[in-house]
Amino acid sequence: MDESGLQARFFRSIKSIIPPNISLVDEIATLLNISDDSAYRRLRGDKPLTFDEIEILAKKYRISLDQVMDLGTESTVFFGKNVDAVSFDFRNYLTDMLVNLKTFNKANKRMMYYEARDIPIFHHFQYEALANFKYFFWMKSVLYYNEFSRMTYEDCGLPPELFQLGKEITREYNKIPSSEIWVEESITTTLRQIEYYTYSGVIRKKETIDVLYNDVERLIEHIKVQAECGNKFLDGEKPAEQTTNYYLYFNEVYLGHNSIMVETDDVSTAFLNHAVLNYLMTHDPKFCDYTRRSLENNMKKSILISTVAERERNRFFNTLFTAIAKSRKECLAKHV
């Protein structure tokens, strides 16, 4: 490695990832346990990095060396931790999500694109019954926690501190300008989960059904209000800013998956959702560029319904409210 070659490229990759208010010299010195002067010499290329130092930095910043070295392997390196019933901790899961959002918000320029086959996860957390339901569903039917196997929904309670942590996640998400692409089926997953637990007897009480559907209606109503003003804010509060930071698109064609793209200053990050709770992420420029083009293409084929297109916006949300009412009626009839 030399100053004009791989070592300089490696450090440029690190610099593009860390927030602009963080000193690269301080980061390198701290991680490698060296002096600031030694860090400067490595940054200038006067002293080559050792393999051990490269390993420390690459792991910390999740940098793919084959991309830095431009080996042309046509591979894309993703990072992520698969959740399971043995090692999964919901508090840590939410904390990691909050840390990522706060990191994005440290950037001077930031934008998130969310292709929402399901309702974006950030929106659920501000409604207590719905947040509790999602927590219960994930523990019982996704991770198959033993203590949840014979538990009914009414026996489960989301700890208050986790609910507050979830609201903080929503608050941070609301600070990030975002474009969400929805389809009419975006609400289907949540409704089917409630229906499934109703029909299988996991939800015992009729009043529980009403409470859950009330929260779903409140969520969709709040999304509609945000779309009308083009701004994200917590339900029950007023928009913090008057500038537009919420772009909602209605796509009449089926979306195949949930995918997220975040652009902050000079770095892009793509997230792929799999197995409900898992996300894989990559900073790979080629993959991020491809994802960006794909999202732009979908937006071109969609209708922008935030701040404009009132008729289309009302038609879209009326369809969602109709689906909620139909599902509620069927579930309540099950308890007659």
Q: What domains are defined for the chain?
A: 6-68 (1.10.260), 90-334 (no CATH)
Region 201-224: mean pLDDT is 93
CA–CA distance, 120 with 279 (Å, rounded to integer): 13
**Residues 28/22, Cβ–Cβ less than 8 Å:** no
Task: Note the pLDDT tens digit of each residue in 139-195.
Answer: 888 888 778 888 888 888 778 888 889 999 999 999 999 999 998 888 999 999 999
**Residues 135/158, Cβ–Cβ less than 8 Å:** yes
User: Quick one: pLDDT at residue 326?
Assistant: 94
Q: Where are the alpha helices (DSSP H) in 18-148?
A: 24-32, 36-44, 51-61, 65-68, 90-105, 128-137
- Judged by DSSP in three states, 138 sits in helix
Q: What is the pTM of this model?
A: 0.77
User: Quick one: pLDDT at residue 233?
Assistant: 92
Residues paired with residue 108 on neighbouring β-strands, in sequence order: none
Region 203-207: mean pLDDT is 89
Residues paired with residue 260 on neighbouring β-strands, in sequence order: 114, 271
DSSP E strands, 131-225: 178-182
Give the CA count within 13 Å in the CB-facing half-sphere of 275: 10
Q: Tokens 């692409």 map to which residue?
A: 181
DSSP E strands, the chain: 110-116, 178-182, 246-250, 259-264, 267-274, 278-282, 303-304
**Residues 110/262, Cβ–Cβ less than 8 Å:** yes
Compute the mean pLDDT over every residue in the chain, rounded to the nearest whole number.
84
Among residues 237, 174, 187, the alpha carbon closest in space to that of 213 is found at 187
Task: Note the pLDDT tens digit of each residue in 21-67.
Answer: 778 888 888 888 888 888 888 888 888 888 888 888 887 777 766 66
- Judged by DSSP in three states, 105 sits in helix
Task: Note the pLDDT tens digit of each residue in 4-17.
Answer: 567 777 777 777 67
Range with lowest mean pLDDT among 78-82, 165-169, 285-289: 78-82
